[in-house]
Homo-oligomer: A and B are copies of this chain.
Amino acid sequence: MASKNMSDIIEAYLKQLLKRSALVEVQRIELARKFDVVPSQINYVLRTRFKPEQGYLVTTKRGDGGYLKIQSGPDQQKIQDLVDKMNQLSDELSWPECQILLRWLRQTGWVSKREVRLLETCLEALGSDRTAKQQRAHLMRQTLKQLSFDLEREDEE
């Protein structure tokens, strides 16, 4: 098929690797050497063929031992699920309903354990009928408390 230019060939090569492993790590120099192109062409391929809006995430490291990492990123289906959940949300939510939602967010990997705790803190701070300024103070205070608590028990993720 019409893969006449090098950029297309390199793109195809990387995307084939991505089908197998969801995370591809290569060295720019190695890749350039393999296809006998100049290193900066690799950047061109990444810029034009692996754009974030097409669902790819590229991270790099410079210096000795540097690399390129390519992940096939945000799953369109996942985003659609999230949007669906948003639209299903009614105008009022009880605390148990919130907890169910938070569990879903955690289980589907949208947020970390730590972020769940942060959000719980925020939600709990909402209960009263104080003014906005007072609520902010209360919220920040609870959040700070939560943060130091997080640090003490080093659960992680």
Contacts and interface: CB of A to CB of B under 8 A. Distances in A.
Contacts of A129: 132
A35 interface: no
A47 interface: no
Contact of A86 (B53, B75, B141): B141
Copies per complex?
2
Given A2-B25, A67-B2, A135-B126, A148 B83 contact: yes
A141 to B, nearest CB: 5
A64 interface: yes
A79 B136 contact: no
A8 to B, nearest CB: 6
Contacts of A152: 52-53, 74, 79
